[in-house]
Amino acid sequence: MSLSNKYKKNSFKVPEGYFENVTDRIQKSIAEERESVKNPKFIVMIRPYIAIAAGMMFIAFMFGQVFSYFEKDIGDKLTSDIIYESIVQDDLLIVSDDFLMNALAENVEVTNEDIQNFDEVDNYESNESEVDEMYQDILY
């Protein structure tokens, strides 16, 4: 099975002198390519850094989303008992003075919104004697 060889004749046209110049033109293209590799455009240079920054922002955003989800749960369940336990056990509790006093005195449930509304927050690291002192001021 074979086709006639008459169709093998090359009938595609090429501009005159094309093959005489093609090597020079290709070498010129390569020289330009080499130059663009040596001196990349500014946007090409900073592209990887933009990608890294975008990735870090995404991670930070996702972390914030996860953190706020758990924080909401904890805030809703905060009661004066938990606050007291935290203080006694030397845990860090980020609340303001007024909030802490009110919570301890009134045995109220505190919400996330209460915590977020404080102007100032202090880290509390207390020991037992300090707690007794606080109770003395409130209760006696």
Closer residue to another protein in complex, CB, 29/68: 29
Contact status, residue 103 vs residue 75, Cβ threshold 8 Å: no
Closer residue to another protein in complex, CB, 10/89: 10
Closer residue to another protein in complex, CB, 26/66: 26
Beta carbon of residue 41, minimum distance to another protein (angstroms, whole number): 17
Beta carbon of residue 12, minimum distance to another protein (angstroms, whole number): 6
- Look-up of token digits 């020289």: 31
Q: Rule CB under 8 A: which residues touch another protein?
A: 1-3, 6-15, 18-19, 22-23, 25-27, 29-30, 33
- Cβ burial of 103 (10 Å; 0-12, 13-18, 19+) is buried
Adjacent-strand bridge partners of 95: 122
What is the residue type of 13?
K
Beta carbon of residue 53, minimum distance to another protein (angstroms, whole number): 29
Question: In the structure encoding, which two tokens stand for residue 26, read together?
Answer: 């290709």
